[in-house]
Amino acid sequence: MIAPFIHTEKNAPYIYLTHIAALMPCVVFAVFAYGLRAIILLSISVVGFMLTDIFSAKLIRRHVKGEYFDVSSIVSGLTFGLLLSPQTPVIAVLAGIIFGSVIVKQFFGGAGSNILLPATAAILFTQTVYPSSFAETVKPLDNWFGFVSIISGKPSVQDYSQLSYPEIISGFAGSLLGVSCCLMIILGFIFMLVKGTIRVYAPAGYMIALLAGFPLTHISTIFTPEGFHLYVLFILSSGVMFVAVYCLGDYTTMPSRPLSATTAGVVCAILTLILYGRVPDVTMLTAPVVAVNFMSFVLDYFSKSISRRGKRSREVDLL
Across the chain, mean pLDDT equals 82
Contact 23, 246 (CB under 8 A): yes
Diameter of the chain measured on Cα atoms: 63
Tell whether the model's pLDDT for residue 257 goes beyond 50: yes
What are the Cα distances from residue 242, in Å, to 15, 37, 298? 18, 20, 25
Q: Report percent pLDDT > 70 for the chain.
A: 77
* pLDDT band at residue 256 under the 50/70/90 scheme: confident
pLDDT over 80 at 319, yes or no:
no
Number of structural domains the chain divides into? 1
Identify the domain containing residue 239 by its residue range: 7-317
Distance, in Å, from the CA atom of 161 to the CA atom of 230, rounded to the nearest integer, reads 8
Q: Is the pLDDT of residue 36 over 70?
A: yes
Confidence at 227, pLDDT banded by 50, 70, 90 = confident
pLDDT-based confidence at 2, cuts 50/70/90? very low
The answer as to whether 1 is a domain residue is no
CA distance 113 to 105: 8
The SS3 call for residue 161 is coil
Q: Does the pLDDT value for residue 79 go beyond 70?
A: yes
Q: Above 60 in pLDDT, residue 236?
A: yes
Mean pLDDT to the nearest integer, 81-98 = 92
207: pLDDT strictly greater than 70: yes
The answer as to whether 260 is a domain residue is yes
Cα 12–21–138 angle (5° rounding)?
Answer: 125
**CB neighbours of 14 closer than 8 A, spacing ≥ 6?**
197
HSE-CB at 277 with a 13 A cutoff on CA atoms is: 8
Task: Give 271: exposed, middle or buried? Use CB within 10 Å, 0-12, 13-18, 19+.
Answer: middle
CA–CA separation, 252 vs 254, rounded Å?
Answer: 6
Q: Is residue 33 part of a domain?
A: yes
State which of 33-37, 79-83, 176-180, 254-258 shows the largest mean pLDDT: 79-83
Asked whether residue 2 is domain-assigned, the answer is no
Has residue 21 got a pLDDT over 70? yes
Q: Tell me if 301 is assigned to some domain.
A: yes
Residue type, 49: F
Residue 152 domain flag: yes
What pLDDT does residue 302 have? 67
The pLDDT score that the predictor gives to residue 149 is 52
Mean pLDDT: which of 2-6, 64-68, 289-293 is highest?
A: 289-293
Instruction: Give the lowest-confidence range in 51-65, 67-81, 118-132, 178-192.
Output: 51-65
Give residue 158's pLDDT: 52
Average pLDDT over residues 186-191: 96
Angstrom distance (rounded) from CA 173 to CA 202:
25
How is residue 293 annotated by DSSP?
A: H
Separation CA 68–CA 48 (nearest Å)? 19
Q: Is residue 313 situated within a structural domain? A: yes
The pLDDT, as a whole number, for residue 67 is 47
Radius of gyration of the chain from Cα atoms?
20
| Domain of residue 106, CATH code | 1.10.3430
Segment 121-161, tens digit of pLDDT? 999 999 988 887 776 667 776 666 655 555 544 444 455 56
Torsion-angle region of 63 (φ positive above 0: left; ψ -120 to 50: alpha; else: beta): beta
Per-residue model confidence (pLDDT) at position 113? 65
For residue 272, tell me if it sits in a domain.
yes
pLDDT at residue 73 greater than cutoff 70 = yes
Contact 154, 116 (CB under 8 A): no
Contact between residue 112 and residue 64 where contact means Cβ atoms under 8 Å apart: no
DSSP line for 71-130: THHHHHHHHHHHTS-TT--HHHHHHHHHIIIIIIIGGGTSTTT-SS-HHHHHHHHHHHH-
Q: Which residue has the higher pLDDT, 21 or 10?
A: 21
Question: 28-32, 88-92, 106-110: which has the minimum mean pLDDT?
Answer: 106-110
Q: Are 121 and 99 in contact (CB under 8 A)?
A: yes
Rounded CA gap, 223 and 211, in Å? 14
Q: Residue 272's pLDDT is what?
A: 97
